[in-house]
Amino acid sequence: MCGIFAYLNYNVNRERSYILQVLFNGLRRLEYRGYDSAGIAIDSASFLSVNGDPNSSSNSISAHTPPPLVFRQEGNIESLVKSVYQEVADVELNLEESFLTHAGIAHTRWATHGEPAPRNSHPQSSGPEDDFLVVHNGVITNYEVLKETLVRHGFIFESETDTEVIPKLAKFVYDKANEAAGDQIVTFSQVVLEVMRHLEGAYALIFKSRHYPNELIACKRGSPLLLGVKELRENQENGSAFEDNKFLSKDGHPKELFLSSDAHAVVEHTKKVLVVEDGEVVHLKDGGVSILKFENDKGEHVGPLSRVASVRRALSILEMEVEQINKGHYEHYMQKEIHEQPESLTTTMRGRLIRRGSSKSKSVLLGGLKDHLKTIRRSRRIVFIGCGTSYNAALAARPILEELSGIPVTMEIASDLLDRQGPIYREDTAVFVSQSGETADTLLALQYALDNGALCVGITNTVGSAIARKTHCGVHINAGAEIGVASTKAYTSQIVVMAMLALAIGGDTISSQARREAIVDGLYDLPKIGIFANVGWLNWLDRTASTKRSKYTNYKVKEVLKLDQEMKDLAQLLIAEQSLLVFGRSYNYATALEGALKVKEVALMHSEGILAGEMKHGPLALVDENLPILVIATRDACFSKQQSVIQQLHARKGRLIVMCSNGDAASVCPGESCKVIEVPQVEDCLQPVINVVPLQLLAYHLTVLRGFNVDQPRNLAKSVTTQ
C-alpha cells in the first residue's frame, strides 16, 4: 500500500541536492508496495539562517520560518523527480545550499479516497502556509465526522482524502492550545498526542511542522513503521558507531535518522532499527529520539492536552543485505525471485530438518513452536487464516496436516471470517499466514482470535512484523526479501514451512513414521544444497547414496526452472487470449488457484482456478475449441480422476494444456493438439511446490510479452495494510 519515508540529518552538513536524492531513493525502495502518485516536503531555507536563535519559542519560530517546499505529482517516482527539478529551476532554488540539520518527508500513495491527482497526493497540508504536513499509510475511518467539525471552524478542504483532516486537526489543536497556554510552550508531541486521541482507524503517520523546525514526529496504530539510526563518528570505522544505551540521548553527535514503512528503504543506510509499536509516538529532536506510549483515553489530561509516559526501547539489527533488494542480472524482480527459489527453499529448511545418523531417525525442529506443540496437538481444530497467495499456500498444506495430525483443519479468508464473526474457540489453534506480517485483514482476524482465547500461531516472512510480535508462537519462512508484488518464492516457502509444521505436530505418531520420513527425504530433494541440522546425516547419505537415494543428485526445483523457455513459448501462444481456466484437485487445487491468481495479477488476463471435481457443476459449459484450459494431472491419489477430466474436456473439443509428471505424457494427452508440460515427481504433499513454478514462469512471460509492468501490476500493492 502507501509508503512513507523520512530523513533527518543532525549536526552533519548535507546539501539540498543530497537530501533530495535520499528522499527519492527512499521512495524508489518503496515502489514495490504499489502506488499511483508521490510527493515530498523539504525546507525552503535553514531555520538558523533565518532565525538565528535555536531557543526561540514556537510562536516566534513560525513567525520567521518560511513555509516548506511541497512537491506532489501523479504517476511514478520519476515523474515526481522530473517535476521537482523543473520547479527548482523555475524558482532558481539553490541545490547546493547546505543544512547542518534538516528534516524531510516523502510518500508514495495508493489511492483509497480520491483519484490519483496532485491534490490528493501526500504530504497533505493544514492550509496555505503549510504549518503542518503529514504523510500517512492507512485509513482514517472517522474522517467524515472530523471533516465536518473542522469545516464548521473555518477550514477549507482541497482534497478528497481522509488524510487531510490530520494536518488540519493538528493546526486546530495547536492554535487552541496556544490560546489556552499563554506563555507556556506547547510541544510538538503534545499536539500530535491530542490529534491521535481523535483518530480512529489504522495509520502510520509522520508529522513535519514549520512551528517545530528540524523536528519530526511519527506514530502508528496498525500500519507498519520503523526507525533507522545511523551515528556518524570520525574516529569510527566505516563512519558508523552505535551504543544501545545512548542512542536515545541528545548527545550532540552527528547522526542520520530514518523513518520508513519497511526495512527496504533503510537497509542501504543502516541496519540498526527500532520497530515502532502500536500507540507509540516517536519524536526526533536535537539529535535525540524520545518515545511516548499513548493509550487512548488513559492519559492524564491537563487542559486540552495529554500527558503520557515515556518508554525506552532497544534497537535491533536488520538481517538483510542491500544485494537482496537489487535485481542483479535479472530484468525484473519477479523473474529474479522465481529463479531464487532453490536458494530460498534451502534457507527456509536450513537447520530445521534432522537426521541423527540413522535412516530411522528423521524429523523436523521448529524452534518457535517446540514449547507449544503439546497444546496444538490437543486442539479441537486448526484454523488457517490468510488472504490471497498466503491463503492458497495454507490450502495446499491442509491435506497433509489433516493426515499427519488427525485434527480437523478449516480454512478462513481473513476478511470473510471478520464479516461473519465466525466462531473461534479457546480450544482452537489459529494459524495466521502472511508474507509481510502486516496484512490488515489478517491482523484484525488475529486480534479477533486473541480476544476469543485461541492459541495463535504466525507464519510470516518478516521478522519483527505485527503478526510475528502479536502471535503466541510461530515460524519465519526465511525466504528473503520479496520485492515483486506477485508473490513467488514466499509462496513455495510457506508451503514447505506448513509441511514441516505438519511433520512437527504429527511427530509423535508411530503409524505415520514411514510417511513422515518420506516427506523429510522429499523436502531435501527440493532445493540444491545441504540443509540438515545434524552432522550425522552426512555419513548416512554417503552410505546410501549409491543405492537407496541416487536421486539426491537431481534437485527438483532447479530442474523445473529449466522449463523457462518452454513457458515463454507457451506464453507466446496465449498472448492474445482473454481467459484461461486452470483445473486442479486435492493438493493441486491450491496450485490451480495460485497459478490463475498469478496470471490475473500480472498479465491482466482473466483466469480462474477451478476444483476439478466441480467441473460438471457449471464450468463445463464454458468449454469449447477456443478457450485454453490447463489441467494439473501429476501423479498422486487423484491421478486417475484427472485422467477422466482430461478425457471429458477433450471429448468437448477443449483446447488442452496438461501438466503431468515426467514420462506421463502419453497417459494424459488424448490427442496431438494437446500441449504437455512435464515436471519432476516428488512426494504428493510437496508436488504443489514443483507444479506452481511453471505457472509462475508462464505468468511472468505473458506479462512481459503483453507489455505490462511485471513488478508493479495495475491497481495492486505488495502489502495490503488497509481494509
Residue 440's identity, in one-letter code, is A
Which stretches within 112-187 are classed as H helix? 143-152, 165-181
* Domain's final residue, options 323, 343, 371: 323
Under the banding of pLDDT at 50, 70 and 90, the label for residue 356 is low
Nearest to 669 by CA among 700, 704, 642: 642
Question: CA-CA distance, 256 to 24, in Å (whole number)?
Answer: 16
Assess if residue 536 is contained within a domain.
Answer: no
Question: CA-CA distance, 185 to 212, in Å (whole number)?
Answer: 11
Print the domain residue range for 674: 559-706
Q: 590 with 512, same domain?
A: no
Q: 437 with 583, same domain?
A: no
Overall average pLDDT of the 230-245 stretch: 52
Which stretches within 437-512 are classed as H helix? 440-451, 466-470, 489-505
Residue pLDDT, tens place only, 294-314: 876 544 444 455 566 778 878
Q: Would you say residue 239 has pLDDT above 50?
A: no
Amino acid 427: pLDDT: 96
Helix (H) or strand (E) holding 199: none
CATH code at position 451: 3.40.50.10490
Q: 482 with 603, same domain?
A: no
Amino acid 62: pLDDT: 55
Assess if residue 684 is contained within a domain.
Answer: yes
Q: Higher pLDDT residue, 152 or 509?
A: 152
Contact partners, residue 350, CB within 8 Å, separation at least 6: 478, 531
Overall average pLDDT of the 396-406 stretch: 95
Residue pLDDT, tens place only, 196-207: 999 998 899 999
Q: 455 with 508, same domain?
A: yes
Q: Would you say residue 108 has pLDDT above 80?
A: yes
Hey, what's the torsion of the CAs at 292, 296, 297, 303, to 10 degrees?
50
Residue pLDDT, tens place only, 12-54: 999 999 999 999 999 998 887 778 899 999 998 765 544 545 4
Residue pLDDT, tens place only, 605-651: 999 999 999 998 999 999 999 999 999 999 999 999 999 999 999 98
Amino acid 322: pLDDT: 73
Assess if residue 544 is contained within a domain.
Answer: no
Domains of the chain: total: 3
Q: 319 with 339, same domain?
A: no
Q: Would you say residue 292 has pLDDT above 70?
A: yes
* Domain's final residue, options 272, 301, 323: 323
Helix (H) or strand (E) holding 136: strand 132-140
Lowest-pLDDT range of 359-373, 438-452, 624-638: 359-373
Q: 413 with 486, same domain?
A: yes
Q: 142 with 190, same domain?
A: yes
Q: 450 with 575, same domain?
A: no
Overall average pLDDT of the 383-390 stretch: 96
Q: Higher pLDDT residue, 512 or 150?
A: 150
Q: Would you say residue 696 has pLDDT above 70?
A: yes
Write down the number of H helices and E strands in the chain. Answer: 23, 31
Q: 268 with 194, same domain?
A: yes
Q: Would you say residue 58 has pLDDT above 70?
A: no
What are the CA-CA distances from residue 163 to residues 11, 294, 571 (Å)?
A: 32, 20, 42
Overall average pLDDT of the 147-173 stretch: 95
Q: Would you say residue 568 has pLDDT above 70?
A: yes
Residue labelled with grid coordinates 475511518: 141
Q: Higher pLDDT residue, 251 or 41?
A: 41
Amino acid 47: pLDDT: 58
Work out the percent of the chain whose per-residue pLDDT is above 70: 87
Nearest to 279 by CA among 259, 264, 299: 299
Q: Would you say residue 466 has pLDDT above 90?
A: no
Lowest-pLDDT range of 418-422, 435-439, 505-509: 505-509
Q: How many CB atoms lie within 10 A of CB 631?
A: 28
Residue 566's identity, in one-letter code, is E
Overall average pLDDT of the 700-715 stretch: 92
Question: CA-CA distance, 384 to 395, in Å (whole number)?
Answer: 8
Assess if residue 75 is contained within a domain.
Answer: yes
* Domain's final residue, options 475, 506, 526: 526
- Tell how strand 353-355 and strand 362-364 pair up: antiparallel
Assess if residue 722 is contained within a domain.
Answer: no
One-character DSSP codes across 567-603: HHHHHHHHTT-SEEEEEE-GGGHHHHHHHHHHHHHHH
Amino acid 313: pLDDT: 79
Under the banding of pLDDT at 50, 70 and 90, the label for residue 112 is confident
Assess if residue 113 is contained within a domain.
Answer: yes
* Catalytic residue set: 2
Residue pLDDT, tens place only, 513-554: 889 989 998 998 887 545 544 433 333 233 233 333 333 334
Q: 222 with 110, same domain?
A: yes
Amino acid 22: pLDDT: 96
Amino acid 48: pLDDT: 53
Q: Would you say residue 216 has pLDDT above 50?
A: yes
Amino acid 610: pLDDT: 95
Q: Would you say residue 76 has pLDDT above 50?
A: yes
Assess if residue 655 is contained within a domain.
Answer: yes
Under the banding of pLDDT at 50, 70 and 90, the label for residue 431 is very high
CATH code at position 286: 3.60.20.10
Question: CA-CA distance, 328 to 335, in Å (whole number)?
Answer: 11
Is 292 in contact with 280 (CB distance < 8 Å)? yes
Question: CA-CA distance, 205 to 58, in Å (whole number)?
Answer: 22
The b-or-e profile of 637-647 (16+ CB within 10 A means b, else e) is ebbeebbebbe
Work out the percent of the chain whose per-residue pLDDT is above 90: 63
Lowest-pLDDT range of 410-424, 445-459, 509-523, 677-691: 509-523
Lowest-pLDDT range of 186-195, 240-249, 466-475, 516-525: 240-249
One-character DSSP codes across 633-651: E-SSTTHHHHHHHHHHHHH
Assess if residue 552 is contained within a domain.
Answer: no
Highest mean pLDDT among 334-338, 359-363, 714-718 belongs to 334-338
Q: 510 with 591, same domain?
A: no
Overall average pLDDT of the 215-225 stretch: 90
Is 387 in contact with 414 (CB distance < 8 Å)? yes
Q: 506 with 639, same domain?
A: no
Q: What mean pLDDT, rounded, does the chain reach?
A: 86
All three cell numbers of 94: 539553490
Residue pLDDT, tens place only, 263-290: 888 989 998 999 898 889 999 999 999 9
